[in-house]
C-alpha cells in the first residue's frame, strides 16, 4: 500500500538522515511514491548477489546486514534501527547487485521505493543523493572500525568494542543499566571470535559485575569497566563511545 499522510508524520518523527533537509511538501511527495511493506521476524528482506532493485527505509522493528562467505559462513555486520536505509545499490545509475543481505531481526515495517522511482526522485531532489553519500560514508566508517579491530585487536577488545557499539545502536535503558537484545552466537559472528570465547569473556565480566547475562539478552551494568589493561583503545574510538552512552543513554 502507498505511504499515507500518517506515515509522513511518523517518518518525520524518525529523523532519518536519508530524509534530512527536505521541505515538508517535497518530503510528502517522496514518501507518497513509496509503498509500505511488513516483514516477519527472521525473514530475509534483501539477498546478497541479487539485483539491487529496491531501496528500503526501516520505519519499525529492527534489521541487520550480514554477509555469506564463500565457505557458507554467515558474518553479521551492521544493526539497523528505524530511520536507517538499506539497499542503497538501487541508487546507482548502472544496474548493480546487493553486496550484502539484510534480515529482519524482529517483525518490521519499511517504506520501499523501486529502482526507477528512487532514481527519478534523486534526480528531482539532489538532497537525497547528498544524504545517501553521507550514509555511505557512515557505513564505511563502521567497516573501517571493524577492519581495524579484526587486524589489530584481541578477542577481548573486539567484544568490548562490539558491546559498546551495540549499546549505542540498539541498547535500551533499564533501571540497572543498558540492556542489549543479542545472543552469544550473534556476538561471536559480529566480533569474529568463537562462541566459547564470548561465553568465557561474558562470564568473567559477569563475575566482576560489569555485565549480567539474561536469556537472549545482556545487561551492561558498567560500560566504562569494559575498558581495562587488556582492553586498551584510542581515545577516539572505544573511550569516546563509552562516554557517549553512559547509564543515562537510551539508544
**8 Å CB contact between 51 and 119:** no
Write down the pLDDT at residue 249: 36
Bridge partners (DSSP) of residue 104 are 63
Write down the pLDDT at residue 195: 85
In tens digits, the chain (251 residues) has pLDDT values of 445 444 555 555 677 889 999 998 999 999 999 999 999 999 999 999 999 999 999 999 999 999 898 888 888 888 888 999 999 999 998 999 999 999 998 999 999 999 999 999 999 999 999 999 888 877 666 666 665 666 667 888 888 888 887 788 778 888 888 888 888 888 887 777 888 898 999 999 989 888 888 877 888 887 778 866 554 444 344 444 444 444 333 33
In b/e form, how buried is each residue of 28-52, taking b as 16+ CB within 10 angstroms?
bebbebbebeebeeeeebbeeeeeb
Rg (CA), the chain: 19
* pTM (two decimals): 0.71
For residue 174, the tally of other CB atoms under 10 A from its CB is 13
Phi and psi at residue 89, in whole multiples of 5°?
A: -60, -20
Write down the pLDDT at residue 112: 96
For residue 200, the tally of other CB atoms under 10 A from its CB is 14
Q: Output the DSSP codes for 11-59.
A: HHHHT-GGGTT--HHHHHHHHHTSEEEEE-TT-EEE-TTSB--EEEEEE
Write down the pLDDT at residue 149: 60
Query: Domains along the chain?
Result: 5-149 (2.60.120.10), 154-245 (1.10.10.10)
Q: Which residue has the cell 499522510?
A: 5
Amino acid at each position: 500500500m502507498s505511504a499515507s499522510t500518517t506515515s509522513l508524520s511518523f517518518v518525520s518523527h524518525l529523523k532519518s538522515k536519508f530524509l534530512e533537509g527536505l521541505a515538508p511538501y517535497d518530503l510528502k511527495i517522496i514518501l507518497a511514491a513509496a509503498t509500505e511493506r511488513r516483514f516477519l521476524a527472521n525473514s530475509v528482506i534483501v539477498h546478497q548477489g541479487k539485483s539491487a532493485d529496491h531501496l528500503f527505509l526501516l520505519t519499525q522493528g529492527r534489521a541487520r546486514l550480514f554477509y555469506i562467505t564463500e565457505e557458507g559462513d554467515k558474518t553479521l555486520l551492521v544493526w539497523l534501527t528505524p530511520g536507517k536505509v538499506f539497499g542503497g545499490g538501487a541508487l546507482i545509475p548502472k544496474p548493480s547487485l546487493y553486496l550484502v543481505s539484510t534480515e529482519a531481526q524482529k517483525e518490521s515495517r519499511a517504506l520501499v521505493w523501486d529502482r526507477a522511482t528512487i532514481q527519478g526522485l534523486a534526480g528531482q531532489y539532489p538532497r537525497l543523493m547528498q544524504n545517501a553519500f553521507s550514509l555511505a560514508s557512515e557505513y564505511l566508517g563502521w567497516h573501517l572500525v571493524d577492519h581495524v579491530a579484526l587486524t589489530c585487536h584481541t578477542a577481548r577488545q573486539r567484544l568490548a568494542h562490539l558491546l559498546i557499539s551495540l549499546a549505542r545502536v540498539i541498547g535500551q535503558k533499564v533501571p540497572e543499566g543498558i540492556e542489549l537484545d543479542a545472543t552469544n552466537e550473534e556476538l561471536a559472528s559480529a566480533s569474529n571470535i568463537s562462541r566459547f570465547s564470548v561465553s568465557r569473556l561474558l562470564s568473567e565480566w559477569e563475575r566482576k559485575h560489569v555485565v549480567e547475562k539474561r536469556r537472549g539478552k545482556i545487561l551492561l551494568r558498567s560500560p566504562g569497566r569494559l575498558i581495562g589493561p587488556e582492553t586498551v583503545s584510542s581515545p577516539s574510538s572505544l573511550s569516546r563511545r563509552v562516554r557517549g552512552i553512559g547509564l543515562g543513554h537510551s539508544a
